[in-house]
Amino acid sequence: GVAEPEEEPNLRIEMRDPVTLPDDELQPGINLRTVVRIAELFLIVVALSTGLAAFFLYRKYK
């Protein structure tokens, strides 16, 4: 009877930590993911623009 009430708060504390920690971890994770996606999109746009520019320049001077 004494061990049961002691285990319940421990379980509640264990359940609270995973609930609060992922919230703290998700925010920087989402920020890093958005930054990575923006960087990837930026690199893709730059690559496409440079590729098209090189293609048109090559076509003009040819």
pLDDT digits (tens, 9 = 90+) for 22-55: 555 555 556 788 889 999 999 999 999 999 999 9
**What are the boundaries of each domain within the chain?**
1-62
Record the tokens describing residue 59, joined without a space: 């076509």
3-state secondary structure the chain: CCHHHHHHHHHHHHHHHHHHHHHHHHHHHHHHHHHHHHHHHHHHHHHHHHHHHHHHHHHHHC
Q: Give the distance between the most distant pair of CA atoms in the chain.
A: 90
- Cα separation, 46 vs 25, in Å, equals 31
pTM equals 0.44
